[in-house]
Amino acid sequence: MSVVSSLTRTSLAAGLLSVAACGIAAAGGFNRGTAATDLLYEDGNFNMRFDARVIVPSQKFSANVNPALVGTNFYENYIIPSAAVKFNLSDNFRCAGTYTDPLGADLVYAAPRIPSGKLSEEFVISEFGLTCAVRFNAGMGVISVLGGGFAEDLNYERVVDLSVPTGGLLPPGTLAHLKLNGEEYGWRAGVAYEIPDYKLRVELLYRSGTDYGATGTLVVPGALIGSPAPALSVPAVGYGDMPQSVELNMRSGVAEDWLAFLNVKWTDWSVLETLLVTSPVATTSDQYFWQDGWTVTGGVVHAFSDMFAGQASLTWDRGVSTGWDLRSDIWTLALGGRLRAPVGGEFRFGAGFSYLDSVTETQYANAVIPGNLRSGFNSAADSGYAVTVSGGYIVQW
């Protein structure tokens, strides 16, 4: 049997590589979803894809300035949506519109953090993108040049118990609510080389970073600023930098009905040093000072029949923490499948289990800050886990 004919059935399996991370339950920094630009490589003049991942993470404090937090989980469950539509404008020019939540965080505390008084902190960035590809024949293969842009929408919320940062001047349960919203724009570009007969593809893809000056409101009790009103709303602005990234994706048919793949991604998380929030009432600064992130995923795909293909992958995501917070290494084992529907489409499904390494802060013991209750105290977290289940549907004409 020739190499070309032996790989014919892997056309079903090849599509699974677009969800190589379908079972990844957690990722370094604030990473979440990835725009499904790989739809540009799939056969058909018109393709649609819809996916969703449900993530259930758990990691508990093993040490904290507030003893009420020790032994409690600080992560919330969340969902990552993804949708994409691809259309061919000609044999050599095609475009894809994409939607996902590339970045986000959901933290909820069983008791107030010290000295900030935080009870919860949540943000999500939604991305709407358009990416096009121009294709050129090159020997046995095809070169694709990719380019496009995206718009981001950021929503951020924080709830603080003011009895902590005011040193007990306000009674416990006196809350401040912060809401911020921002819009930014960016671009992506890349290049790929394919040999379709061998299911070979090598892609290098760049995504630009964004800088936020998100605006919104801070709602505080009137007593905080000497007002008789029960609550007052004041303007607030939040400043933070989101990273650029470079991703290398490689895959190849390796045997009859088998594919192997390797993805390596660098994320410029070192740009995020602090998150600064200013308002007429107060100015706060969250410390990050992260190192850059590296994510490596390797795995195999096997077409069991003309109707069903399965996938297994292992991911290592380097923790970005440098001692200012609790973002550790993550290892993820994921399994997925793709099943052709009787008419017009294919179902996709997956599950993943992630191991979150234990981590300890180191910087606060070295930073004696006058008036900062956290001086000399480092938080720590035990090893944890996260579970993901995912599902989706793809239509191709």
For residue 316, the domain's CATH number is 2.40.160.60
> 365 is in which domain, residue-wise?
3-396
Q: Are 37 and 98 in contact (CB under 8 A)?
A: yes
User: What are 22-50's pLDDT values in tens digits?
Assistant: 555 556 789 999 999 999 999 889 999 99
- Bridge partners for 145 per DSSP: 134, 191
The pLDDT of 262-270, averaged and rounded, is 96
CA distance 69 to 132: 48
User: Is pLDDT above 60 for 237?
Assistant: yes
Q: What is the pLDDT of residue 115?
A: 84
Report residue 396's pLDDT band, with 50, 70 and 90 as the boundaries.
confident
pTM over 0.85: yes
User: Is pLDDT above 50 for 19?
Assistant: no
Q: C-alpha distances in angstroms, 347 versus 129, 337, 379, 393?
A: 24, 8, 43, 5
Report residue 4's pLDDT band, with 50, 70 and 90 as the boundaries.
very low
The pLDDT of 281-292, averaged and rounded, is 92
Per the structure, the count of domains in the chain is 1
Residue type, 26: A
DSSP string, 118-183: EEEEEEEEEEEEEEEEEEEEETTEEEEEEEEEEEEEEEEEEEEETTTTTTTSS-TT-EEEEEEEEE
Which residues in 7-35 are b (16+ Cβ under 10 Å) and which e?
Answer: bbbbebbbbbbbbbbbbbbbbbbbbbbbb
CA distance 385 to 6: 39
Report residue 189's pLDDT band, with 50, 70 and 90 as the boundaries.
very high
Phi, psi of 176, deg, nearest 5: -120, 135
Distance of CA 107 to the CA centre of its chain: 15
User: What are 309-331's pLDDT values in tens digits?
Assistant: 999 999 999 999 999 999 999 99
Q: What is the pLDDT of residue 337?
A: 92
User: Is pLDDT above 90 for 201?
Assistant: yes
Share of the chain above pLDDT 70, in %: 90
Locate 172 and state its tokens: 């416990």
Q: What is the pLDDT of residue 114?
A: 86
User: Is pLDDT above 90 for 254?
Assistant: yes
